[in-house]
């Protein structure tokens, strides 16, 4: 007997027939003698619909009330799923985040899970029930307020639950067959990876591959949770996310990712003095805005330019805060561009190979795509480009690195 956590995403439960089909799938697993915890997302499009409703009544909805509203999406799917399960003779029992012991901090809209108190889930499993947990939501451990974990957060609920229960595996069921070399909806030739390391998956997720929420990968790596990403609609094996030692053959580049959800901000003419960067970024971080890709050049004539990206959803807020900061520190002006995209190549093999970045720049140049900023780490290279070239850039990079074939160009070619 195994203890299995299964998470089904929005498209997997995006209609009553799909919910029935998933209930049947879970029934087969439970009847084979396994203990099963199911984590569900809201039905496809529901979270967006709720967001639009809130924005219709207020341009900047209160964050606490927004979480109360958004949490209803997952509440609907767990209840409907259990009702559908009962119709096929499966003893399923729904739990909302707070009932399942998902305790978080107080950051509405992007709360972090602090603790999972899985007592009730264990009790229900011991009674022979299938436990169906609402993804994406928790409860502030201090105030008792409802919180949500950020878009895509049901993956994190599932992995946190799997870690707390010491589950044998956490299966993430979605609308693609696993983790691919890039988004298969953009590049049909993308290749499914049999295995990917936590580290590469962490980079892929943080660089925009939404197949797994980044925090779910962080949890998995920390607690050694085995993740199996696979399709709800086929029985084929998907991708296992595993420690680096378990990767058999290491390619130089394992994937290409893109992110259209960021905006670029440049502060021009920043005085080159100690403490200025702190003055710029403290109000931003106090507002809970996560900054990425910070670039500062050496100063010319005692001033420099500071460029960074923020999530598009925080762009207006950041621009507002920075116009005040800009005058305080005596900078020249703040420029912003929300129509950008970040394209990235990721691969652990990059550590030992030269020339990967220049090959990337060449592939973009051959398509006439201008690079606005460049950012590298040990296992990734990211370029910010004009948003309208995203798909073209992703296809060009996928091709340049021969990812469809799984063949890496010989080291001397790159």
Segment near Mg ion (CB under 5 A); pick from 119-127, 149-157, 296-304, 313-321: 149-157
CB nearer to ligand ADP: give 101 or 184: 184
Among the listed ranges 152-160, 197-205, 334-342, 362-370, the one in contact with Mg ion (CB under 5 A) is 152-160
141/128 Cα distance (integer angstroms): 29
Q: Measured from the CB atom, is 154 or 304 closer to ligand ADP?
A: 154
Among 4, 5, 6, 10, binds ligand ADP (CB under 6 A): 10
Distance between CA atoms of residues 156 and 219, nearest Å: 8
Q: By CB under 6 A, is residue 73 in contact with ligand ASP?
A: yes
Using an 8 Å Cβ cutoff, are 318 and 284 in contact?
yes
Quick one: 155 or 408, whose CB is closer to ligand ASP? 155
Residues 232-271 that bind ligand ADP (CB under 6 A): 255
Closest approach of Cβ 399 to ligand ASP, in Å? 31
- Residue 138 engages ligand ASP in binding (rule: CB under 6 A): no
Q: Provide the mask over 134-173, with x wherever binding to ligand ADP is found by CB under 6 A and - wherever it is not.
A: ------------------x---------------------
SS3 content of the chain, % helix, strand, coil (to 5): 40, 25, 35
Half-sphere exposure of 203 (CA within 13 A, CB side): 25
Phi, psi of 392 (to 5 degrees): -60, -45
Burial of 23 (0-12, 13-18, 19+ CB in 10 A): buried
Cα maximum dimension of the chain: 76
Compute the least distance from the CB of residue 387 to Mg ion, in Å.
21
User: What is the SS3 assignment for 174?
Assistant: strand
**Residues in contact with ligand ASP, total (CB under 6 A)?**
13
Rounded to an integer, what distance in angstroms lies between the CA atom of residue 10 and that of residue 280?
Answer: 38
Residue placing its CB nearer to Mg ion in the complex, 71 or 267: 71
- Does 153 bind ligand ASP (CB under 6 A)? Our answer is yes
Partner interacting with residue 73 (select from ligand ADP, Mg ion, ligand ASP, none; CB below 5-8 Å by kind): ligand ASP
Site for ligand ASP contains 184 (CB under 6 A): no
Shortest distance, position 154 Cβ to ligand ASP, whole Å:
3
Does position 210 bind ligand ADP by CB under 6 A?
A: yes
104: number of Cβ within 10 Å: 26
If one asks whether residue 10 binds ligand ASP (CB under 6 A), the answer comes out as yes
Q: What contacts 24+ positions apart, CB below 8 Å, involve 200-204?
A: 200/254, 200/255, 200/346, 200/347, 200/348, 200/379, 201/241, 203/257, 203/344, 203/346, 203/377, 203/379, 203/380, 204/179, 204/254, 204/255, 204/257, 204/346
Structure-block tokens of residue 126: 């011991």
Q: Which residues bind ligand ASP (CB under 6 A)?
A: 9-10, 41-42, 47, 73, 135-136, 151-155
């Amino acid at each position: 007997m195994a203890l299995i956590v299964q998470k089904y995403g929005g498209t997997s439960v995006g209609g009553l027939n799909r919910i029935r089909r998933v209930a049947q799938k879970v029934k087969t697993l439970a009847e084979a003698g396994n203990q099963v915890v199911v984590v569900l997302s809201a039905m496809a499009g529901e979270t967006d619909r709720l967001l639009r409703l809130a924005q219709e009544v207020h341009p900047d909805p209160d964050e606490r009330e927004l979480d109360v509203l958004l949490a209803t999406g997952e509440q609907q799917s767990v209840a409907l799923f259990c009702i559908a399960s009962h119709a096929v003779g499966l003893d399923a029992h729904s739990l909302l985040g707070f009932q399942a012991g998902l305790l978080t901090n107080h950051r509405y809209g992007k709360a972090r899970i602090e603790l999972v108190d899985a007592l009730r889930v264990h009790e229900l499993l011991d009674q022979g029930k299938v436990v169906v947990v609402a993804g994406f939501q928790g409860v502030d451990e201090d105030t008792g307020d409802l919180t949500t974990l950020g878009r895509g957060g049901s993956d994190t609920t599932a992995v946190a639950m799997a870690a707390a229960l010491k589950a044998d595996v956490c299966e993430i069921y979605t609308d693609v067959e696993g983790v691919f070399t890039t988004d298969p909806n953009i590049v049909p030739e993308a290749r499914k990876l049999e295995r990917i390391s936590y580290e590469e998956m962490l980079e892929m997720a943080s660089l925009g591959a939404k197949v797994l929420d980044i925090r779910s990968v962080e949890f998995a790596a920390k607690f050694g949770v085995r993740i199996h990403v696979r399709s709800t609609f086929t029985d084929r094996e998907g991708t296992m996310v595993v420690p680096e030692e378990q990767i058999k053959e290491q390619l130089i580049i394992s994937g290409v990712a893109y992110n259209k959800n960021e905006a670029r901000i440049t502060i021009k003419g920043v005085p080159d003095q100690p403490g200025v960067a702190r003055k710029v970024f403290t109000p931003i971080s106090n507002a809970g805005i996560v900054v990425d890709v910070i670039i500062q050049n050496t100063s010319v004539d005692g001033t420099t330019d500071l460029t960074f990206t923020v999530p598009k959803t925080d762009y207006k807020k950041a621009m507002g805060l920075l116009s005040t900061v800009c005058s305080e520190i005596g900078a020249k002006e703040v420029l912003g561009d929300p129509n950008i995209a970040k394209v990235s190549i990721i691969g652990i093999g990059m550590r030992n190979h030269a020339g990967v970045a220049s090959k990337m720049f060449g592939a973009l140049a051959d398509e006439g795509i201008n690079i606005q900023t460049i950012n590298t780490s040990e296992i990734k290279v990211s370029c910010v480009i004009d948003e309208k070239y995203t798909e073209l850039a992703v296809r060009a990079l996928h091709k340049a690195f021969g990812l469809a074939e799984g063949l890496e160009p010989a080291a001397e070619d790159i």
